[in-house]
């Protein structure tokens, strides 16, 4: 079945595709598939699942995952344990060159192992600053210093790229200060917009320069700048991210099933608000009924979105786990505390 990539990213229901999964994934509005822990049993099962997803249509849907490290690593058995990024920040405090080498190695290992199982990319790196106030971010953040976050994340992005994988930075402009978890509430960051631009947005500059392919905005309201959450904000997505920072890659909404996205109404209204604000693609996860309602409300994606989406596909087909570079990356990771 030949269809251009659409704007929706959704997840399958289990470790193998159901008839309903296949029906949704061949809808013209779908452009990608995200996998979670409930979609993983072991490496053999994962490879079979991704192979079937890729065979459903032409061009194939891209396949992605949240595989940051620490507590956010969906595939564990059979994969290298990726440390939380905070550990790279701690290494940075005593050995900056060593930390950069380790960040690069982490990116390479993530990309090589995902690609070997048919997964195109991970939603990583996290560019939120570690203010110590957000439990949902916590040790997922590299550091509290914007410079450290920017250079460490840029090194990780380059490692991903060397193993053929795109990178998606999150959660723009920053979820590190707001204490409320956007999965279960609507966070607000009451700081002045100028302060957020000076601190939280700063890491995006070197990371975009390193070849960043995607950005995911936060379900956080920054009332000094806009009454809407960043994912529904033309100011944050078009004025700041596109114009000021010059970002020309894909903008993904965060999961529209999260409570932080509820300010726009029902699922179709949330998607329309995100797309109108400047998101290119919208995620809706672990919500089959909502996915059906969303697909019924959407049509095909603009050609520009389909072209940008092609940048997310893994580049190169060989199994890099047999390479010298992969072995050296694993050895480098042993230096992470």
**Residues designated as active site:** 183, 254
Count CB-CB contacts under 10 A for residue 329.
Answer: 26
Phi, psi of 75 (to 5 degrees): -110, 120
Would you list the DSSP string of 23-39?
A: HHHTSTTEEEEEE-GGG
CA distances from 282 to 17, 217, 275, 285 (A): 21, 11, 8, 10
Find out whether 251 and 217 touch, Cβ atoms under 8 Å: yes
Angle, vertex CA 76, rays to CA 79 and CA 111, nearest 5: 45
Find out whether 177 and 191 touch, Cβ atoms under 8 Å: yes
Peptide bond into 125 cis (omega under 30): yes
55 exposure class (CB count in 10 Å sphere: 0-12, 13-18, 19+): exposed
* CA atoms lying within 13 Å on the CB side of residue 317: 0
144 exposure class (CB count in 10 Å sphere: 0-12, 13-18, 19+): middle
Token readout for 144 is: 């509290």
Tokens 């106030």 found at: 133
């Amino acid at each position: 079945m030949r269809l251009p990539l659409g704007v929706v990213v959704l997840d399958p229901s289990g470790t193998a595709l159901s008839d309903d999964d296949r029906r949704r994934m061949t809808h013209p509005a779908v452009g990608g598939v995200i996998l979670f822990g409930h979609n993983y049993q072991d490496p053999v099962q994962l490879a079979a699942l991704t192979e079937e997803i890729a065979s459903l249509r032409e061009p194939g849907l891209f396949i992605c995952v949240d595989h940051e490290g620490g507590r956010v690593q969906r595939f564990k058995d059979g994969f290298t344990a990726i440390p939380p990024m905070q550990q790279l920040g701690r290494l940075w405090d005593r050995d900056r060159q060593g930390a950069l080498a380790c960040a690069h190695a982490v990116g390479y290992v993530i990309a090589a192992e995902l690609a070997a199982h048919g997964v195109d990319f991970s939603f990583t790196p996290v560019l939120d600053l570690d203010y110590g106030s957000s439990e949902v971010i916590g040790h997922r953040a590299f550091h509290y210093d914007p410079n450290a976050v920017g250079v460490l994340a840029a090194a990780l992005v380059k490692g991903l790229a060397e193993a053929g994988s795109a990178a998606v930075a999150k959660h723009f402009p920053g979820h590190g200060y707001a204490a409320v978890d956007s999965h279960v509430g609507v966070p607000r960051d009451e700081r002045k917009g100028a302060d957020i631009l000076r601190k939280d947005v700063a890491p995006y500059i070197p990371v975009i320069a390193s070849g960043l392919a995607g950005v995911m905005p936060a379900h956080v309201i920054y009332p000094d700048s806009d009454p809407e959450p960043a994912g529904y904000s033309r100011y944050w997505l078009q004025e700041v991210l596109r114009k000021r920072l010059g970002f020309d890659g894909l903008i993904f909404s965060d999961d529209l099933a999260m409570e932080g996205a509820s300010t726009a109404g029902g699922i179709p209204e949330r998607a329309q608000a995100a797309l109108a604000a400047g998101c290119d693609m919208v995620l809706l996860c672990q919500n089959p009924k909502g996915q059906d309602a969303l697909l019924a409300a959407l049509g095909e994606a603009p050609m520009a979105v389909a072209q940008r989406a092609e940048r997310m596909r893994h580049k190169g087909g060989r199994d890099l786990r047999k390479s010298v570079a992969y072995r050296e990356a694993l050895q480098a990771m042993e230096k992470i505390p």
